[in-house]
């Protein structure tokens, strides 16, 4: 059995179906020999379809994907509540100010999935939602060009440039939402140039880079940390297609999730491996221990808390 097989087949971070139309898409594979996690990231706009774009498209950027959160999304109620409180709070004074929020944390910790679930839960609160793959300036540019191909945007006679997309978004009023996902490699100055002008709108950012807090107030940023153990156990049993009511499985699942530092991506991968029948949950840790040190060198695990590492005996 290879190291890749131990974590093969995970789907926690794949995106399929949904109610949002995406403009442009990008695929990012986790660069680790022990995991094959494919994450489809894209730009999305609420309530639109591509019907009617036809020959009027102003760029080659397509609008092909409808992202949705994982069907196994579990927990994170405190983070979701904080986001809801922030973006629904009434502004002080008569002048409406743009609202920003940054979710930052290590790779694989679930920032994207939290944002997807938040947007789904709060979709009625926003007039438009734009989901931008912010992994590079190129992906942002392509996403903005794709927005120009939306039927409503085309009625404004845009020229297909990123600048015209930003102008159009800024004209939509106060209640649009714009998510910059995976802004790991951009400086605050680089990212800020892609914000629409004006004081309206709501901007949500996900990143491994805590330095992007420069763009938000202190109370408008939050580090996403490991899952609560009971949520991590629930996720593992869902991913493994096991009955969570069995007490012996709960005990075995607790051992697994603690060995994996309660990191959602790793837990989902472990559950998928078990579900595929490659091993029993009671034997999983024996297989995992053979590849543990190599796994911990994977980028998705960089930043796992020192406390969790020491408490698990490493």
Rounded to a whole number of angstroms, the distance between the first and last alpha carbons of the chain is 24
pLDDT of residue 61: 62
Token readout for 82 is 């904080």
Nearest to 24 by CA among 175, 172, 135: 135
**What pLDDT sits at residue 298?**
63
Let me know: does 111 contact 103? Beta carbons within 8 Å: yes
Query: Which of 91-105, 154-168, 228-242 is predicted with the least confidence, judged by mean pLDDT?
Result: 91-105
What is d(CA 131, CA 146) in angstroms, rounded to the nearest whole number?
11
From 253, 256, 239, select the one nearest 37 (Cα to Cα): 239
pLDDT band, residue 43 (cuts 50/70/90): very low
For the ranges 6-15, 33-42, 57-66, 86-95, the maximum mean pLDDT occurs at 86-95
CA diameter of the chain: 64
Q: Which residues contact 204 (CB under 8 A, 6 or more apart)?
A: 83, 87, 100, 101, 102, 103, 115, 118, 177, 178, 179, 180
Nearest to 229 by CA among 254, 264, 250: 254
Confidence of residue 92 (pLDDT cuts 50, 70, 90): low
pLDDT of residue 46: 47
- With 60 as the cut, is the pLDDT of residue 101 above it? yes
CB count in 10 Å sphere of residue 187: 12
For residue 228, give both structure tokens.
Answer: 């609560």
Closest CA to 204 of 92, 147, 125: 125
Strand duo 129-133 + 38-46: pairing = unpaired
Q: What does pTM read for this prediction?
A: 0.75
Name the residue among 11, 34, 8 with its Cα closest to residue 278: 8
Lowest mean pLDDT among 18-27, 66-75, 220-229: 18-27
Q: Are the CB atoms for 114 and 218 separated by under 8 Å?
A: no
pLDDT score recorded for residue 301? 56
Mean pLDDT on 35-52: 35
């Amino acid at each position: 059995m290879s190291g890749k097989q131990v974590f093969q087949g995970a789907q926690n971070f794949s995106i399929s179906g949904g109610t949002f139309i995406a403009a442009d898409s990008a695929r990012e594979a986790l660069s680790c020999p022990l995991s094959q996690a494919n994450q489809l990231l894209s730009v999305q706009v609420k309530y639109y379809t591509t019907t009617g774009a036809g020959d009027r498209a102003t760029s080659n950027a397509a609008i092909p994907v409808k992202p949705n959160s994982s069907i196994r999304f579990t927990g994170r109620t405190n983070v979701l509540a904080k986001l809801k409180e922030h973006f629904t709070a009434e502004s002080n004074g008569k002048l409406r100010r743009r609202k920003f929020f940054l979710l930052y944390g290590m790779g694989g910790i679930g920032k994207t999935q939290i944002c997807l679930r938040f947007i789904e839960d709060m979709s009625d609160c926003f007039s438009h939602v734009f989901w931008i793959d912010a992994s590079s300036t190129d992906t942002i540019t392509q996403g903005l060009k794709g927005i120009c191909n939306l039927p409503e945007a085309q009625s404004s006679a845009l020229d297909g440039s990123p600048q015209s997309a930003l102008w159009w978004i800024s004209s939509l009023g106060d209640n649009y939402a714009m998510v910059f996902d995976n802004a790991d490699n951009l400086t605050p100055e680089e990212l800020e140039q892609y914000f629409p002008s004006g004081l309206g709108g709501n901007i949500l950012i996900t990143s491994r880079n805590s330095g992007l807090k420069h763009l938000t107030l202190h109370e408008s940023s939050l580090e996403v940390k490991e899952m609560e153990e009971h949520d991590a156990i629930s996720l593992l049993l869902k991913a493994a297609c096991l009955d969570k009511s069995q007490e012996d499985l709960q005990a075995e699942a607790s051992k697994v999730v603690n060995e994996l530092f309660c990191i959602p991506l790793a837990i989902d991968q472990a559950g998928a491996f078990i579900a595929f029948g490659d091993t029993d949950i009671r034997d999983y840790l024996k297989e995992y221990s053979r590849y543990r040190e190599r796994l911990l060198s994977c980028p998705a695990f960089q930043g796992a808390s020192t406390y969790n590492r020491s408490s698990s005996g490493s």
